A = this chain, B = another copy of it.
Amino acid sequence: MTETTLAHLNSCSKADFVAALANIFEYSPWIAEAAADRRPFAGVSALFTAMTATVEGGSDKQRLALIRAHPDLADKTQRAAGLTAESHAEQNSAGLDRLSDAEYQAFEQANTAYRKKFDFPYIVCVRRHTKDSILADFEKRLPNDAKAEVAASIGEICRIAALRLDQLVKGDDPLKVHGRLSTHVLDTHGGKPAAGIEVELMELSRLGASRVVARTVTNHDGRTDMPLIGGRPVPIGRYELTFKVGAYFAARKVAMSDPPFLDEIPLRFAVYEPEGHLHVPLLVTPWSYGTYRGS
């Protein structure tokens, strides 16, 4: 899909409108068609509300078809056959294109069990998740009944749609679909922000390999110039931030033990609100440190 503006969508032909928004809902242009008739929209939020209202107002059969229009997660056959470009990019964002054998097997088992029970694919808004949290979500939802899962699937489809719409249409009232993960290092030995500390953010995985998702250095204010994760949902999951404080204090000629009592400090935590702002600061001396869920 090509980026566009709300002004254009409000004024273009119905055909162009539908073409532009065809894949906001996977392979389901009827939703864009219904929305086209409600133009003009005062903002992106109003457009999104109109589209989700169409979904909510559709028949059970339509909603089930919408669900069935989605691919299985991490399905190699479908990948070969072709996902929408949107699905493809989304699945890659969660690392679903780089699964270890153990992970692939876990996803396949879950998918198969889910499809066997419900006769439709398991759907989740993968941009809000890590591989681990998708598997945890699978396990939480599998015991549900079909009605609950139809509702859950539609909910996830709307989340996917919101993110696709946010990427596609620029407007003055962005949908609240982005979160932020930030840090801050205070040197409580020197009483000042700790500048120049190397920071690494790793996404942890129980089944497969953990992977580095950000590497940066603190600036003169002890913060990072850019959020560790920002401008998108912060995927639910477990993370480890590592701070190279030994090198920092050594460079400042602070007296330390040999080897230094504290060198690389890991902070391990979970993200649980992808659209929230999670601030994980570090207060540190060569002999002590602390952290807290900040804001």
Contacts and interface: CB of A to CB of B under 8 A. Distances in A.
Interface of A: 133, 136, 186, 188-193, 221-222, 236-238, 240, 257-266, 268-270, 272-273, 283, 285-295
A188 B287 contact: yes
A290 B293 contact: no
30 contacts: A133-B259, A186-B294, A188-B287, A188-B292, A189-B189, A189-B285, A191-B257, A191-B261, A191-B285, A191-B288, A191-B293, A192-B295, A221-B295, A236-B259, A237-B259, A238-B263, A257-B272, A260-B270, A261-B272, A262-B269, A262-B270, A266-B266, A266-B268, A285-B285, A287-B292, A288-B290, A288-B291, A288-B292, A289-B291, A290-B290
**Best-buried of A188, A238, A265, A283 by chain B (most CB within 10 Å):** A188
Contact of A289 (B189, B260, B290, B294): B290
A245 B270 CA distance: 13
A283 B236 CA distance: 26
Contacts of A136: 259
Count identical subunits in the complex: 4
Contacts of A269: 261-262
A85 to B, nearest CB: 31
A11 to B, nearest CB: 40
Contact of A272 (B258, B270, B291): B258
Contacts of A283: 288, 290, 292
List the 9 closest pairs (A to B, CB-CB), nearest first: A290-B290, A191-B287, A288-B292, A188-B288, A257-B272, A259-B270, A287-B293, A191-B293, A193-B295
